[in-house]
Amino acid sequence: MKNSSYGRRRFIQHTGAAGLALGAGLRSDAQVPERKIKVGLIGCGSVSGQYLPNLKACPFVEMVSVCDIRSERAARRAEQFKVANQYPRIDVMLAGAPFELLVNLTDMQEHERLNREALAAGKNIWSEKPIANSLAAGQELLATAQQKRLRLWGAPTVVASPQFAFMAKQIAGGALGRVAAAHAHYGHEGPGWSSFFYEKGGGSLSDLGVYSLTTLTGLLGPAKAVTAMVSIVTPARKIEGKGRIEVTEEDNAMVLLDHGNGVISHLQSSFNYFNPHGHEGREETRHTINVVGREGWMGLAGYDWEPHGVDFATKAEPKRKRHAEDAHGYVWQGGASRAAECLATGRETPFTPEHALHVVEIITAARESHATGRRIDLTSTFKWPVIT
């Protein structure tokens, strides 16, 4: 996944500051936003290198602190991005320089515990996926946030792309006729820098499938039930600096979703797919999401986190045409900046914690379906349609 800044057009769009040279410190006083949100970031590994340039360029963010249990990583990011405070543990960070929004970029299995601790200390949260390890735990975190008048958000941000909006509008407007089915795929040979991806609570569904599941449910509505098969294709892996580890969470998955009203979708995700684009999947040109109805078809070119456009054909216009090629300032690593913008201005985000938790429920239900051989009914839902 590739680097990008906050998004020049996004700032201009929201401030009316046309012709502005964007970047921290480059604004004139007339365009200074309402207020800046003090941000603390925990987890200074791979993805922090994508988030920090975006946060530093965001006019609604003041970076206050960074934290990592590997203190050399916090020190490196503090120096690289000129962040004044660095900490080795969350309790020290929470007791240190004050901030309002925690950006949680730690191991997937750590999010729930750290999010809970930060909420208790009165912080708003932007969390990488997942917000929590189970639906019940996530709902408890959300209830705590609401009770304390705090906000809680979780990745991914795929519903914020103009390509998602285009697809959602075609479906809602009836351009595909009666929608029947959708298919999504996301895979590569798996990350090699951390073992948590392969341990319980990690897996290809939590790391990769989560994007497609957010798009499929965002387009077709909350799922009512799940049937799935999952497997471990590669039982042992080599991890940088760690050597050989045992794989204990699925690294290969096939999931079927029932969206009600006859609409069925399917996702496949894996850490065992040959892919010439590897982890840097932005060069992917295949359709990774396909939606089909009685009157039309749409294919999303590239991955939903950084799509290139939407190919579209209908009975009325069967010659395939590409639409929505412009990102309009959307970048996948912009979720924490959008959260800060929401706190500063009240402008709501299209992504919601309820949607993120619905996807957590789908992932845990998929594993339960495989383990029991049963179709699993889902209980959670979220505000849909996402785009109105």
Q: Is 42 in the site for ligand NAD (CB under 6 A)?
A: yes
What is the closest distance, in whole angstroms, from the C-beta atom of residue 122 to ligand NAD in the complex?
19
Q: Is 67 in the site for ligand NAD (CB under 6 A)?
A: yes
Candidates 65-73, 245-253, 286-294, 378-386; binding stretch for ligand NAD (CB under 6 A): 65-73
Candidates 22-30, 104-112, 285-293, 373-381; binding stretch for ligand NAD (CB under 6 A): 104-112
Q: Is 239 in the site for ligand NAD (CB under 6 A)?
A: no
CB 67 within 8 A of CB 40: yes
Q: Is 207 in the site for ligand NAD (CB under 6 A)?
A: yes
Q: Is 106 in the site for ligand NAD (CB under 6 A)?
A: yes
Q: Which of 52, 61, 63, 108 binds ligand NAD (CB under 6 A)?
A: 108
Q: Which of 107, 250, 251, 361 binds ligand NAD (CB under 6 A)?
A: 107
Q: Is 128 in the site for ligand NAD (CB under 6 A)?
A: yes
Candidates 15-23, 62-70, 317-325, 340-348; binding stretch for ligand NAD (CB under 6 A): 62-70
Task: Give the 3-state DSSP-derived string for the chain, with helices as H, strands as E and coil as C.
Answer: CCCCCCCHHHHHHHHCCCCCCCCCCCCCHHHCCCCCEEEEEECCCCCHHHHHHHHHHCCCEEEEEEECCCHHHHHHHHHHCCCCEEECCHHHHHHCCCCCEEEECCCHHHHHHHHHHHHHCCCEEEECCCCCCCHHHHHHHHHHHHHCCCCEEECCCHHHCHHHHHHHHHHHCCCCCCEEEEEEEEECCCCCCCHHHHCCCCHHHHHHHHHHHHHHHHHHCCCCEEEEEEECCCCEEEECCCEEEECCCCCEEEEEEECCCCCEEEEEEECCCCCCCCCCHHHCCCEEEEEEECCEEEEEEECCCCCCEEEEEECCCCCCEEECCCCCCCCHHHHHHHHHHHHHHCCCCCCCHHHHHHHHHHHHHHHHHHHHCCCEECCCCCCCCCCC
Q: Is 105 in the site for ligand NAD (CB under 6 A)?
A: yes
Q: Is 69 in the site for ligand NAD (CB under 6 A)?
A: yes
What is the closest distance, in whole angstroms, from the C-beta atom of residue 147 to ligand NAD in the complex?
25
Q: Is 47 in the site for ligand NAD (CB under 6 A)?
A: yes
- CB of 14 or CB of 76, closer to ligand NAD: 76
Q: Which of 15, 54, 194, 204 binds ligand NAD (CB under 6 A)?
A: 194
Cα distance between residue 45 and residue 58, in whole Å? 20
Q: Is 193 in the site for ligand NAD (CB under 6 A)?
A: yes
Q: Is 45 in the site for ligand NAD (CB under 6 A)?
A: yes
What is the closest distance, in whole angstroms, from the C-beta atom of residue 105 to ligand NAD in the complex?
5
**C-alpha radius of gyration, the chain, whole number:** 20
CB 337 within 8 A of CB 61: yes
CB 308 within 8 A of CB 292: no
Q: Is 65 in the site for ligand NAD (CB under 6 A)?
A: no
- CB of 86 or CB of 217, closer to ligand NAD: 86
Residue nearest to ligand NAD (CB): 45
Q: Is 73 in the site for ligand NAD (CB under 6 A)?
A: yes
Q: Is 90 in the site for ligand NAD (CB under 6 A)?
A: yes
Candidates 29-37, 68-76, 251-259, 356-364; binding stretch for ligand NAD (CB under 6 A): 68-76
CB 198 within 8 A of CB 245: yes
Q: Is 1 in the site for ligand NAD (CB under 6 A)?
A: yes
Question: Which residues of this protein are in contact with ligand NAD, per CB under 6 A?
Answer: 1, 42-47, 67-70, 73, 90, 105-108, 110, 114, 128-129, 193-194, 207
